Amino acid sequence: MPTRSLGPFTVSAIGLGCMNVSHAYGVPPEREAAEALLRQAFDEGVTHFDTAALYGFGKNEEVVGAALKPVRDKIILASKCGMTGVDGKRVIDGRPETLKATCDASLKRLQTEVIDLYTLHRWDKQVPIEDSVGALADLVRAGKIRAIGLSEVSSQTLRRAHAVHPIAAVQSEYSLWTRDPEPRLLATCAELGTAFVAFSPVGRGILAGGIAPQPQFAPGDIRLTMPRFAEPHLAANLAQAERFAALVRAWGYSPAQAALAWLLAKGPHILPIPGTAKPAHLTENNSAAAITLAAAQVAALDALYALETVQGPRYAPAVMAEIDPD
């Protein structure tokens, strides 16, 4: 597996978003299968594992911690705070005292003494970003975390945070069908030496050919709340995905491989973290690290998936209001 820089760390070019094994995509796999998938990822060269206190309301960290404890010194372990489950509900809370308490709980669940990259999952707009990042800086000084990240923030917020403490990574949704970080946020990250961690890099399955014309999502699947996966948008988005799949298969790649290879070609500071609960998909995703798309191929995909070709916002209005876009 090729490597890239993530703040002070060197990690696999493709990481693993661990959410799928316990959160947001319907019925999760059994605990034994989930842990086996995480160990398979390591065996295939993945060294960047991303979880969060929110996922499964703590259960995901427990699974990740148990599965990867034997190889803890060989991986970069990332988790997130500032958005957690409280009394069965998702709550955004960026107060310093909350972030510090969340970190202590995460350390126990992850069975580790330090979290390598600790990311503010959402900026709590009721709390100045300087205060939240200041609390994370305290955790660095206390030796509980090694580096600080932000998720779903604008370039302006990144600069404000970076003035308090160096920000090792920004995490946001980025893929062929979610081009929002271009060009401003990606350029700001490159300027500041901040890695960009791309979550949902295969479009929550649509760029991997995994969405049927009339998808039967399981109860609780996050895509049930997303306008892009419902009519009147879904049919147009599926037709676009079919054109994409036909193009890249003619090149000899699966859709998922091409989607990930495109991200890797967009900049050396970009780190995709595809998630999956299926071993075969994991191997397929990881194989994309060996693919180098030609400039003409990248340009063809840029043209095919220009921002205006995707229909529907990526979140419902209430969730869109929670993020901090450029």
The pLDDT assigned to 230 comes to 95
The pLDDT assigned to 154 comes to 98
Classify strands 48-50 and 145-151 as parallel, antiparallel or unpaired.
unpaired
Domain residue spans in the chain? Answer: 3-203+257-292
The pLDDT assigned to 63 comes to 98
The CATH classification of domain 3-203+257-292, taken from the options 2.40.40.20, 3.20.20.100, 3.40.50.2300, 3.40.50.300: 3.20.20.100
The pLDDT assigned to 83 comes to 97
| Ramachandran class of 215: left when φ > 0, alpha when ψ lies in -120 to 50, beta otherwise | beta
DSSP state of 221: -
Paired tokens of 324: 């901090």
Alpha-carbon dihedral of residues 220, 66, 40, 202, nearest 10 degrees? Answer: 30
Q: Which residue numbers in the chain have pLDDT < 70? A: 307
The pLDDT assigned to 91 comes to 96
Name which of 11, 108, 86 is nearest 50 in CA terms. 11
DSSP state of 288: G
Name which of 206, 212, 210, 198 is nearest 310 in CA terms. 206
- For residue 240, the SS3 value is helix
Task: Show the beta-strand stretches assigned E in 33-174.
Answer: 48-50, 76-81, 83-86, 89-92, 115-120, 145-151, 167-173
What is this structure's pTM? 0.96
Query: With contact defined as beta carbons under 8 Å apart, do 296 and 271 qualify?
Result: no
- For residue 105, the SS3 value is helix
Distance between CA atoms of 79 and 26, rounded to whole angstroms?
22
The pLDDT assigned to 149 comes to 98
**pLDDT tens digits for 77-125?**
999 999 999 988 999 999 999 999 999 999 999 999 999 999 999 999 9
**Annotated catalytic sites, by residue?**
55
